[in-house]
Amino acid sequence: MPSNSSPDPGWARASFTLPRAPDGSDAVYLAGNSLGAQPHAAREALLSAVDEQWAAVGVAGWEDCGWWATPQRLGDRVGALVGAAPGQVVVGDSTSVQLFGALIAAARLRPGRHVLLSDGGHFPTDRYLAASVARLTGLELVTASPDAMAPDAGTAVVAVPAVDFRTGERWDLDAIVGRAHEAGAVVLVDLSHAVGVMPVELDALAVDLAVGCTYKYLNGGPGAPAFAYVAARHHEVLDPPLTGWTGHADPFAMTEAWTPAPGVGRLRVGTPPMLSMLALDGALGVFDDPDSPDIAGVRAASLALGDAFLAALPPRVDVVTPREHERRGGHIAVRVRDADGLCAALARRGVVVDARPPDLLRFGFAAPYVTLDDARTAARELAALL
């Protein structure tokens, strides 16, 4: 990764197309924690895929254009952002599909245990799928806050987010993984609100499995494919529940029985969604271009944006996100009386954020395109409305 570790926030703003404010100017776009802004390179890659690949060569694109290898090639690019050595990440399918497969595969790594321990405040997909997986596998679903989890000898899987999707609180993965492994459990981390905005050292932390989306801070576009990580030590025994043809050791042999592909490739399920995959391919250049900062630099810039926002807020504003850097993710949440109404009112003033019921406004600090002026403007407009 590049080594510039202290960039100015908004260093890549000219590489993005931002939504428009009502007056026709660029909006102050602080919703990248929900859907990232559009990188020019993503649009160019998508147009190239349509006009110069699909239209030009048709089905030959799977080999001639390298489409078939894209899930693992992109996996290694994403893996570099989350501290994963090559060969441990695959991209494709939705976050829900990746999470379902990872939860069951994780449970199968610990046969004979009976508890799935999950964050009670997890993102809805994580909660719904944990409940479904518990019913399918016969596990008992137990919920707790990540910082209060106490896995024991009956715990098969500990499923946590790296960052709380509502409050933006960053959880201490080192401590969580340590407690889980001491009890013999497997750890599955959802990185959707962390990847692309803060360092996550999956290998160094000894995380077992992880999933994450690519349409937030990675700017892959609406519905961009998700990724899954499996530590290399589990590869040869990993037993995924979705045994799709592209995860077969020899997919074009069309054999009667499913034989898993070596390594993380066995997590591939269906035909890769190539147009969205190639849009993501273009978007990732924001992070691994030689002139871009490393992920530590991205984190420093994001924190600087959050600090500027907090400093410009009046003391009466109820900030629910921890102010300490080590406890903060990429977005800051404030509690207000009418979150939906204020979200709409801010949009009319050219500030795009999002609301989470019943009373939270979230301000996302995607450092490549958000500037310090943006952060201060958002704080001033919120204060004026309040």
pLDDT per position as a tens digit, 143-196: 999 999 999 999 999 999 999 999 999 999 999 999 999 999 999 999 999 999
DSSP state of 248: B
Distance between CA atoms of residues 292 and 7, nearest Å: 9
pLDDT per position as a tens digit, 223-239: 999 999 999 999 999 99
Residue 5 has pLDDT above 80, yes or no: no
The pLDDT of residue 6: 72
Residue 70 has pLDDT above 50, yes or no: yes
pLDDT per position as a tens digit, 321-330: 999 999 999 9
Q: Which residues are catalytic?
A: 123, 190, 215-216, 362
Q: 103 near 239, Cβ under 8 Å?
A: no
- Tell me, rounded to whole angstroms, the distance of Cα 165 from its chain centroid: 11
Distance between CA atoms of residues 288 and 316, nearest Å: 40
CA angle 194, 200, 206 (to 5 degrees): 130
- The rounded percent of the chain whose pLDDT value lies above 90 is 96
Residue 4 has pLDDT above 90, yes or no: no
The pLDDT of residue 117: 98
Q: What is the CA radius of gyration of the chain?
A: 21
pLDDT per position as a tens digit, 80-118: 999 999 999 999 999 999 999 999 999 999 999 999 999
Q: 385 near 61, Cβ under 8 Å?
A: no
Q: Quick check: helix, strand or coil at residue 182?
A: helix
- The rounded percent of the chain whose pLDDT value lies above 70 is 99
Residue 1 has pLDDT above 50, yes or no: no
The pLDDT of residue 2: 45
The average confidence (pLDDT) of the chain is 96
Mean pLDDT for 302-326 is: 97
The pLDDT of residue 23: 95
